[in-house]
A and B are shown apart, each in its own frame.
Chain A
């Protein structure tokens, strides 16, 4: 289908609201969380109005419907990322929980003192802290692939680090600060030939361009629904069935068991083994709808739209004096523009843009080590998604010029 940003915008009720100044909202913070189309909001509303029940084991109509809706969402997500089977799709709370699941369930039972986990300097805290916690507990080593001044991973150094035989290479597919799209497929192939498993943090990639687990050939992939037009509170860990099957459970409780005695239990089959307790059923339904919405748009169209916006934004930012944009050139970059303005703190920039209805984020974006790497305490970040336009970027640039004036 042809992609029309006007038609897309009409699907997002929140985009027609104003902020206090009376201006129409310009939402440039989708890297933090995306807005939701009406179809997602309605699917969740419909679920609560007509089908709400706890899933699995219920035999009544509502329980059957709720179970079918929940498992149907799992199938949609599985097919969206090209999974071999929906048994490989574990619903978690978010990317963070997915990575913690791998650290706790796979890491604890497979890693020995002295084992190496290879990460990168551009990781979000969610792909650092779980490994730091595990490393402290099991006496593991952590090493980091360095980031160049241009915001790219140093792949020569990666090769050298692989000689130390890491057990796992865990890295972000796309940086939430630099926008850098890492050469994941190549990195995974290199890791495998060095005997390591791979975990890809897909929080920023799965929402923005086609990601296929068969093509990537990774071992684990983690991502969140709320960054891809779906609700908060639900995310995914995709893993190879063989690996998942061999891993011990993560959280214990209801639904993750086959049998329970007073002193022992038998874990359930995949994927339920990793889904203890009542899951986020309505959120799964919304997630399934979000995936359907993205499929209707076509992920190639989504990616092309964002590439256009990113190129245009970089071109317009270059016109602003005293502004530095982090990260690589447009060809290697997703729709994330993190920037600093000489002599003006990023928080002040964000606050002043808000007067014009423009929502950007300011701070370290949950990547403090990366900001340390660039010796910046904080940056401002504008990020784009399916509903953003070139006109919005023009208004951002105009507003930034006014910020400069106020501080001059």
Chain B
């Protein structure tokens, strides 16, 4: 609990590397967390090699959700579409390295949901749900 706001989180929240928007982008999706009103958009651009070349996130949210978006985009740069589709939420949670209760888990995984929504081509208003 005490490392919930450990330096990596505060750091990525205050100095994000991937904050912004890509217009146009190859993949764009946005969604929100109705519990707290957090809202997030992710844009991806692929290079000629079919790998993610550029990525950006925009919107607003708490330190956990914003830092997790920044860390997630850091992870997807250089990955193929299939690799992005195969990302597991555990991969992101490992990088975050914090213990999260059920409520804050939704904050941390908003970026994951939005990323998946983008690469799976969901329509606006739809939400990505993991198959159990």
Mark A residues whose CB is within 8 Å of B.
20-21, 344-348, 351-352, 355, 362-364, 368, 371, 377-378, 406-407
Given contacts A363-B37, A377-B39, contact A347 B107 (CB under 8 A): yes
Closest residue on chain B to residue A372 by CB atoms: B37
* B104 touches A (CB below 8 Å): yes
Q: How far, in angstroms, from A345 to B67 measured CA to CA in the complex?
A: 12
Given contacts A355-B1, A364-B37, A368-B37, contact A377 B60 (CB under 8 A): yes
- The interface residues of chain A lying within 8 Å CB-to-CB of B92 are none
Given contacts A362-B36, A378-B37, A406-B10, contact A20 B62 (CB under 8 A): no
- The interface residues of chain B lying within 8 Å CB-to-CB of A406 are 5, 10
Given contacts A351-B4, A352-B5, contact A378 B64 (CB under 8 A): no
* A401 CB, nearest partner CB in chain B, Å: 16
* B8 touches A (CB below 8 Å): no
Closest residue on chain A to residue B107 by CB atoms: A347
- The interface residues of chain A lying within 8 Å CB-to-CB of B64 are 347-348
- Say whether A363 contacts B35, CB under 8 Å: yes
- Say whether B37 contacts A351, CB under 8 Å: no
* B78 touches A (CB below 8 Å): no
* B119 touches A (CB below 8 Å): no
Contact with A along B27-55 (1 / 0, CB 8 A): 00000000111110000000000000000
- The interface residues of chain A lying within 8 Å CB-to-CB of B2 are 355
* B16 touches A (CB below 8 Å): no
- Say whether B10 contacts A20, CB under 8 Å: no
Q: How far, in angstroms, from A363 to B107 measured CA to CA in the complex?
A: 12
- Say whether B10 contacts A407, CB under 8 Å: yes
* B39 CB, nearest partner CB in chain A, Å: 7
* Residue in B5, B37, B39 whose CB lies within 8 Å of A348: B5
- The interface residues of chain A lying within 8 Å CB-to-CB of B66 are 345
- Say whether A345 contacts B10, CB under 8 Å: no
* A350 CB, nearest partner CB in chain B, Å: 9
* Residue in A345, A355, A407 whose CB lies within 8 Å of B61: A345
- Say whether B38 contacts A377, CB under 8 Å: yes
* Residue in B1, B37, B63 whose CB lies within 8 Å of A377: B37
* A205 CB, nearest partner CB in chain B, Å: 26
Contact with A along B1-24 (1 / 0, CB 8 A): 110110000100010000000000
- Say whether B62 contacts A345, CB under 8 Å: yes
- The interface residues of chain B lying within 8 Å CB-to-CB of A348 are 5, 62-64
- The interface residues of chain B lying within 8 Å CB-to-CB of A363 are 35-37
Q: How far, in angstroms, from A348 to B60 measured CA to CA in the complex?
A: 13
- The interface residues of chain A lying within 8 Å CB-to-CB of B36 are 346-347, 362-364, 377-378
Mark B residues whose CB is within 8 Å of A.
1-2, 4-5, 10, 14, 35-39, 60-64, 66, 104, 107
* Residue in A21, A344, A351, A368 whose CB lies within 8 Å of B104: A351
Q: How far, in angstroms, from A197 to B51 measured CA to CA in the complex?
A: 64
- The interface residues of chain A lying within 8 Å CB-to-CB of B63 are 344-345, 348, 407
- The interface residues of chain B lying within 8 Å CB-to-CB of A21 are 1
Residue pairs across A and B with Cβ atoms less than 8 A apart, 9 shown, are: A20-B1, A21-B1, A345-B66, A347-B36, A347-B104, A348-B64, A351-B5, A377-B60, A406-B5
- The interface residues of chain B lying within 8 Å CB-to-CB of A364 are 36-37
Closest residue on chain B to residue A347 by CB atoms: B62
The 10 A-B residue pairs with the shortest CB-CB distance, nearest first, are A345-B62, A347-B62, A377-B37, A378-B37, A348-B63, A348-B62, A363-B36, A347-B36, A364-B37, A377-B60
* A73 CB, nearest partner CB in chain B, Å: 34
* B27 CB, nearest partner CB in chain A, Å: 24
Q: How far, in angstroms, from A377 to B34 measured CA to CA in the complex?
A: 10
- Say whether B5 contacts A371, CB under 8 Å: no
Q: Report which residue of A20, A345, A352, A371 has the largest number of chain B beta carbons within 10 angstroms of its beta carbon.
A: A345
Given contacts A347-B107, A348-B64, 19 further A-B contacts (CB under 8 A): A20-B1, A345-B38, A345-B60, A345-B61, A345-B66, A346-B36, A347-B61, A347-B104, A348-B5, A351-B5, A352-B5, A355-B1, A363-B35, A364-B36, A371-B37, A377-B37, A378-B37, A406-B10, A407-B63
Closest residue on chain B to residue A349 by CB atoms: B62
Closest residue on chain A to residue B63 by CB atoms: A348
Q: How far, in angstroms, from A346 to B35 measured CA to CA in the complex?
A: 12
* A329 CB, nearest partner CB in chain B, Å: 27
Q: How far, in angstroms, from A378 to B33 measured CA to CA in the complex?
A: 12
Q: How far, in angstroms, from A344 to B5 measured CA to CA in the complex?
A: 12
Q: How far, in angstroms, from A20 to B101 measured CA to CA in the complex?
A: 13
Closest residue on chain A to residue B5 by CB atoms: A406
Q: How far, in angstroms, from A348 to B17 measured CA to CA in the complex?
A: 21
* B99 CB, nearest partner CB in chain A, Å: 11
